[in-house]
A and B are shown apart, each in its own frame.
Chain A
Amino acid sequence: MTLSMLTPAFTVGRNEERCIRCGVCVNQCINEVHHLDEDGFMWVTDKNCVGCHRCAVLCPTQALAITEFPLAFRPNNYWSSASLREIYAQAETGGVLLTGMGNPRPYRSYFDHLLLNASQVTNPSIDPLREPMELTTYLGNQAAMLGEREKPLLKLEVPVMFSAMSYGAVSLNVQKSLARAAREMATFWNTGEGGLHSDLKEYADSTIVQVASGRFGVTPDYLNNAAAVEIKIGQGAKPGIGGHLPAEKVSADVAKTRMIPAWSDAISPAPHHDIYSIEDLAQLIETLKVATNYQKPVSVKVAAVHNISAIASGMVRAGADIVAIDGFRGATGAAPMRIRDNIGIPIEMAIAQVDQRLRDEGIRQSVSLVAAGGIRNSADVVKILALGADAVYIGTAALIALGCHLCQTCFTGRCNWGIATTDRQLSKRLNPEIGAIRAINLLKAWEHEIKEMMGGMGINAVDSLRGNRLMLKGIGLEQHELELLGVTAAGD
């Protein structure tokens, strides 16, 4: 094969009146888009550009503009340019299309079709600057009667946690940033299934450790260096398939943390090979509880799939203290594009259905629901809590706070922002002191906004927002969608 039909996705424009030939773009682009030759000419290789904006953001004179490569296919409402490009790529490689981050397709976002309520006249709105406004949230099994011993619980001062992102998929500096932010904000970060690096043990009280199908890094020490243990069954970006950390990302340090040979592929099987059914899950949950002396809540994370209500109900009955549901917008470091873009259901629907189902079955008190996958801002948080979640996990939003520009090429390991990489030089680009401050700022900003929205509703404790679907109205939704969400239409 000689000729590639793949034209560049982006083109890099350089304003010559501004460019000072400082060479920052050259030294910052790991994809070698920019080249400064000995004669002072700047050359650009558009086809290498992934649209991550590293060069444009660091350019001291704003001389760079990155735009879509202006090559129009004849307009076709069915065969989009993306469809064609994907076929060209597969015709060249014969491979599965790989991608990163979450489902970008224009499916309906229910968050964008829900509106929040506020108090007017008949009850007063509450000003969070003047009155207490409580976001304290406890996660876990709260079925114990008064006088009985309570089950272990997680206490969050803001109902937003950082999603599982493993060392290997992301750099250690990402985990350091999030762990510090979680400790500072009294919430939790999640190791993902890559083990717990020794540098992060000091954050044990703010850590949720994950046990996934690869069992990477799982030891008694690992389980007990945490506030909670999470069994990962699936994730929203790739329900039904396992994980694959390519050998190039398995550095010596990653290998040590995962307890696998360096520079070898780290493969997580699609299922846990000791969980082929719900009763097997019950056994693993019990095993982990025994291993942690019943001192830590056990969470089970699943992707939001079609029969999520029944699955969630089974998980609660199997002993899960926390059920984390990852919607179809959930992100990943690497997934086959067809799977990421076509499998699962929206988190809004999943939470609405699961919350109601668990209530109908009388087991809602035995579990906390954590919503993950596509929470973009504080309004999304408020809406999903009102639909019935107890807290949320944010992954993509947290990475964006650290600098991610959603170029969706995490799987290459060549992340210009030092996020989805284990390369030592690239990892340096994320200073965890700065990363922690940015993640803390994000949570603080959301915390303020959540309080403002709650105050507007006349609510001063997040307890009263949870499941408060009267605070939501649907806009532009069909009747059956409203019913599934358990809300009424705006104006109704």
Chain B
Amino acid sequence: MLKLEGDIRIPSGCAIAAVMNRSAERFDGHTIIASIATMHKRSNGLGGGFAAYGIYPEYRDYYALHVFYDDDGARQMCERYLQHHFRIKDREPVPVRRTRKITDAPLIWRYFAVPREDRLYREQLGEEDFVARVMMTINSDLRGAFVASSGKDMAAFKGVGYPEDIGEFFRLEEYQAYLWTAHGRFPTNTPGWWGGAHPFTLLNWSVVHNGEISSYSTNRRYLEMYGYKISLQTDTEVIAYAFDFLMRQQGLSLEDTIDVIAAPFWSNLEQEKQAHLRRKYAGLLLNGPFSIIVATNNGLMAVNDRIKLRPLVAATRDEFLYVASEESAIRAVAPVLDRVWSPGGGEPIIGLLYNKKGLLEASPVGLQTDAQSA
């Protein structure tokens, strides 16, 4: 029997794309679907997905939990578990469109919820740590349940199929978001599991990723030291946790974080601080080919591995920032652009909403330059 993602490690190639409006004006899912569909050949129908930010303004203060279930039994078990930890304001199945191209879909539910005060108190955890911990426990311990996303005012829509078909299945044209990311997957072998598709998320973080990091085991074992439960055996999961650890837990700025994951070579280090970062977080250097787009409610960051072993192109037009594996995917939705460029290895593209200072509000400042670079 073929093993599920998480039981074994499955390397995969991919296409990635993102579109954002920096004034936080929302637009529907047509654009991102058209963009990722241009790169159809970069995926093989075994995984596609989207992250959308700004889609649940009416539930802005609630964690939007999107959960996959193998069956109704799993749903009941998981809901009991959720109720134990959360006050759930609303719950419903995620609306989907029946299409011939998408088969074997799990049950997909969403919950708008906040942690129960008494549980927070008892666990002695901050709210975000608490939510992250509960979500990781569901994914690693509750059979048949998988949390696809758990952030506020955002969600991940993903599954087994080509990304454009997944978009159609999830009726993304009915959602309005100011930031969309997308992923088309080319896994080298997999029975196809909905949880294994991208984006991978944790709280508000979402990551779409193209590549196979050769440092996976080093990175994974590093994160495990800090309590992260790695359940999927995918590079993407590790990348998401790396960002969460460095920025949220260690309080690094985005620039410092990039100096860790795509560290400059020793011979190119300019500041003692970068050397310290490299030494201290040596286990989080992401080594091997990758291009990633990391998004939060405040904006996105896209970056390549330090020797640029994967394609990545960025472009701007007015308020819009586009990022994709191939320029064609940008030209398909925005033929006329102000600027198009291909960033070097380890050189981040940072796109923030105009009123935001960092991907995480709490991050140390030092990101003003980002506004110009994007």
Tell me the A residues contacting B by CB distance below 8 Å.
Answer: 119, 121-124, 126, 131-132, 134, 136, 138, 142, 144-146, 150, 153, 359, 362, 364-365, 457-461, 463-471
Contact = CB atoms under 8 A, between A and B. Distances in A.
Nearest to A356: B221
6 contacts: A123-B212, A145-B250, A359-B224, A463-B218, A470-B216, A470-B217
B171 to A, nearest CB: 33
Contact of A464 (B11, B214, B265, B280): B214
Contact of B214 (A119, A131, A145, A469): A119
A124 B309 contact: yes
A461 B287 contact: yes
Contacts of A463: 215, 218, 278, 282-283, 285, 287
A124 B289 contact: yes
A466 B218 CA distance: 6
B134 to A, nearest CB: 22
Contacts of A461: 263, 282, 285, 287
A122 B217 contact: no
A369 to B, nearest CB: 13
B28 interface: no
Given A146-B277, A359-B224, A463-B282, A122 B287 contact: no
Interface of B: 9, 11-13, 188, 211-219, 221-222, 224-226, 250, 252, 256, 263, 265-267, 273, 276-280, 282-283, 285, 287-289, 306-307, 309
Contact of B283 (A131, A362, A466): A466
- Most chain A CB inside 10 Å of its own CB: which residue of B212, B226, B250: B212
Contacts of A145: 250, 280
Contacts, number: 104
A359 B225 contact: yes
Contact of A459 (B9, B278, B287): B287
A146 B266 contact: no
The main secondary structure of chain A at its interface with chain B is: loop
A123 B309 contact: yes
A142 B278 CA distance: 11
Contacts of A470: 9, 216-217
A471 B287 CA distance: 13
Contacts of A457: 214
Nearest to B268: A132
Given A359-B225, A471-B217, A146 B285 contact: no
A466 B220 CA distance: 12
A131 B309 CA distance: 12
Given A142-B279, A146-B252, A463-B285, 16 more contacts: A121-B188, A122-B11, A123-B11, A131-B307, A142-B282, A144-B276, A146-B256, A146-B277, A153-B279, A359-B225, A362-B225, A458-B214, A461-B285, A461-B287, A468-B216, A470-B217
Given A119-B214, A134-B266, A458-B288, A144 B224 contact: no
A471 B220 CA distance: 13
Contacts of B288: 119, 123, 458-459, 464
Contacts of B13: 122
Contacts of B279: 138, 142, 150, 153
A460 B307 contact: yes
A142 B12 CA distance: 34
